[in-house]
Amino acid sequence: MKHPNLNDEKRIVMTLDAGGTNFVFSAIQGGAELVEPITLSAQASDLNTILKRIIQGFEEVKKILAPPPVAISFAFPGPAEYPLGIIGDLANLPLFRGGVALGPMLEEKFGIPVFINNDGDLFAYGEAISGLLPEVNALLEEHNNPKRYHNLLGATFGTGYGGGIVSNGHLFGGDNSAQGEINRIRNKVHPFYSAEETVSIRGIRKAYAREARLDEVMVPTPQSIYEIGMGKVEGNRKAAVKAFQKFAIAAGDSLANAATLVDGIIVLGGGISGAHPLFLHHLVNEMNRKFDTPGGGHLSRLEIQVFNLENKKDLQKFLTGDKQEIQVPFSDKKITYDPLKRIGVGITRLGTSRATSIGAYTFALSQLDKSAT
């Protein structure tokens, strides 16, 4: 799928970063933010107040713009029927209940197309367009390695655990707008819970509380727990390291399950991804773990080997591969063959918010171009 050239793109798209606390409105042109973001509270006593506030935010942005925007595109929490712009029953915005036609409302109000997606999907899309995926392929080219990657699995670690899939330039969309919901994979650490209960801010804090024998109200933020684990500040370092190890086991196991189906590069984002020096090697080790077999042997967890793209030695091996020449049967010809099946796991190159914005912007323009042909 051909994406618009962001450097040359003049069209403007209005965007929204929707959280449980605030709505942050902006506009993008050519992949760059055009206005100082406008922040409005997401808290209200009734749904109509929230909806009017969303309209107000976009109206304030539009007043600043010249020329006018061609579309609105943004991430909004699910469950939702994203292609129709209908939002379902939300946990973080509990006033949304029973199906709210947010997209159609904005289209009628502003007279331009409106595109709504899940944040994990748009994050993955942004990284596939301008982030980790093109960087990996550029590095392979620099190393004269013919291998190229066309699939990307994005995962976000934060308040929740989100995901998105991009294949051959296309953002993968499920039949029920429930694609990439990696948070619902079973939790290896706590098998009767979903993975999100461990792979999230609350998961790290609860694990630290258990290991440090603290009341949960006394537990610091994951950023502070990371700094304790790295020895940068005082605290129960052993408990901090253990909390992130449990996080890595649950995340690595769920990502391995997803990788069996996606078979592509994995990019990690969200606030917790900044703590990768403490957990990423454990996560990759979990993905490379072996199964036992009934005969007493072992079977690799994945058909492919997983490399830590933030580790220099791993990155070099990933880029070099295991190229060799093999003979074509009944011929004098030889061909180059690389039997090392592999994927890599790396951290967001754009930053989670920017990747999501780039994803939202490019998705809108791609859909507009598609409808015009």
| Nearest alpha-carbon partner for 77 in 109, 119, 38, 49 | 119
132-349 is classed in which CATH architecture? Answer: 2-Layer Sandwich (3.30)
For residues 87 and 76, what is the distance between their CA atoms, to the nearest angstrom? 8
pLDDT in tens, 139-191: 999 999 989 999 999 999 998 999 999 999 999 999 998 999 999 999 999 99
Question: Quick one: which H or E segment has residue 368?
Answer: helix 352-372
| Nearest alpha-carbon partner for 164 in 194, 210, 129 | 129
Instruction: Tell me the pLDDT band of 344, cut-offs 50, 70 and 90.
Output: very high
Q: Is 122 helix (H, G, I), strand (E, B) or coil?
A: helix
Residues in Cβ contact with 309 at an 8 Å cutoff, skipping those fewer than 6 apart = 132, 136, 315, 318, 344, 345, 346
Question: Quick one: which H or E segment has residue 165?
Answer: strand 161-167
Decide if 240 contacts 223 (C-beta within 8 A): no
CA angle, 336 as apex, 333 and 338 as ends, to 5°? Answer: 150
For residues 116 and 358, what is the distance between their CA atoms, to the nearest angstrom? 14
Q: Is 327 helix (H, G, I), strand (E, B) or coil?
A: strand
Tell me the CA distances in angstroms from 86 to 39, 244, 347, one per residue in order. Answer: 23, 36, 32
Which two structure tokens, joined as six digits, stand for 254? 């769920």
Whether residue 75 has pLDDT greater than 70 = yes
Q: How far is the first Cα of the chain from the last one, in angstroms, to the nearest whole number?
A: 14
Which two structure tokens, joined as six digits, stand for 342? 């592999």
Domain ranges of the chain: 12-117+355-372, 132-349
pLDDT in tens, 353-370: 889 999 999 999 999 998
Instruction: Tell me the pLDDT band of 3, cut-offs 50, 70 and 90.
Output: low
Pick the CATH number of 12-117+355-372 from 3.40.605.10, 2.160.20.10, 3.40.50.620, 3.30.420.40: 3.30.420.40
| Nearest alpha-carbon partner for 40 in 30, 55, 62 | 55
| Nearest alpha-carbon partner for 280 in 347, 221, 180 | 347
Instruction: Tell me the pLDDT band of 371, cut-offs 50, 70 and 90.
Output: confident
Verdict on whether the full-model pTM lies above 0.85: yes
